[in-house]
Amino acid sequence: MRRVLPAVCLFFLSPIVGEMLLGATSIDAIGLIPMMALLYGGGTLLIREVVRRTRRGWCSILLLGAAYALLEEGLLDQMIFNGHYSGNYDMVHVTYVPFLGTGVFGLLSVLAVHGVWSVTVPIALMEGMVPDRADEPWLGRAGLAVTAALFGLGIVIVGGGTYSDTHFMAPWPELAGTAAAIVLLVVAVFRIRRPGPGRADRNAPRPLVAGAASLVLTSAFMIVLQANWWGVGAALAVAVVALALGLYWSRARGWGRPHVFALAAGATLTYVWDGFGQTPDEGSGGAINLAGHVLLAVASAVFLYVAAKRVRKRSGAERLGSGTA
CA 224 to CA 149: how far, in whole Å?
Answer: 39
Number of Cβ within 10 Å of residue 283's Cβ equals 19
- Is the per-residue pLDDT at 325 higher than 50? no
pLDDT at 323: 56
Overall average pLDDT of the 23-41 stretch? 96
Average pLDDT score over residue span 29-50:
97
Give the pLDDT band (50/70/90) at residue 1: low
Average pLDDT value for residue range 245-254:
92
pLDDT mean over 7-20: 97
Distance between CA 163 and CA 172 in Å, rounded?
15
Confidence band of 86 (pLDDT split at 50, 70, 90): confident
Dist CA 228 CA 111 (whole Å): 17
Instruction: Look up residue 211 and give its amino acid.
Output: G
pLDDT, tens digit (0-9, with 9 covering 90-100), for 258-279: 999 999 999 999 999 999 999 9
- Widest pairwise Cα distance in the chain: 65
pLDDT confidence tier of residue 27, bands split at 50, 70 and 90: very high
Predicted local distance difference test score (pLDDT) of residue 3: 79
pLDDT above 90 covers a percentage of the chain that reads: 85
Nearest to 267 by CA among 224, 305, 210: 210
Contact 19, 45 (CB under 8 A): no
Domain-wise residue ranges, the chain: 5-318
Burial of 136 (0-12, 13-18, 19+ CB in 10 A): exposed
pLDDT given at position 194: 73
pLDDT at 324: 45
Question: What is the predicted pLDDT for the residue at 62?
Answer: 97
Return the pLDDT at 202: 86
Which whole number is the average pLDDT over 225-253?
Answer: 95
Work out the average pLDDT over 190-194. Answer: 83
Digit-coded pLDDT (tens) for 272-305 = 999 999 999 899 989 999 999 999 999 999 999 9
When pLDDT is averaged across residues 311-320 and rounded to a whole number, the result is 82
Q: What is the pTM of this model?
A: 0.95
The candidate with the shortest Cα–Cα distance to 238, out of 253, 256, 226, is 226
Please choose, from the candidates 147, 115, 130, the residue with its C-alpha nearest in 3D space to the C-alpha of residue 46: 147
Neighbours of 303 (CB within 10 A): 17
Question: Percent of the chain scored above 70 by pLDDT?
Answer: 95
HEC readout, the chain: CCCCHHHHHHHHHHHHHHHHHCCCECHHHHHHHHHHHHHHHHHHHHHHHHHHHCCCCHHHHHHHHHHHHHHHHHHHCCCCCCCCCCCCCCCCCCCEECCCCEEHHHHHHHHHHHHHHHHHHHHHHHHHHCHHHCCCCCCCHHHHHHHHHHHHHHHHHHHHHHHHHHCCCCCHHHHHHHHHHHHHHHHHHCCCCCCCCCCEEEECCCHHHHHHHHHHHHHHHHHHCCCCHHHHHHHHHHHHHHHHHHHHHHCEECCCHHHHHHHHHHHHHHHHHHHCCCCCCECCCHHHHHHHHHHHHHHHHHHHHHHHHHHHHHHHHHHHHHHHC
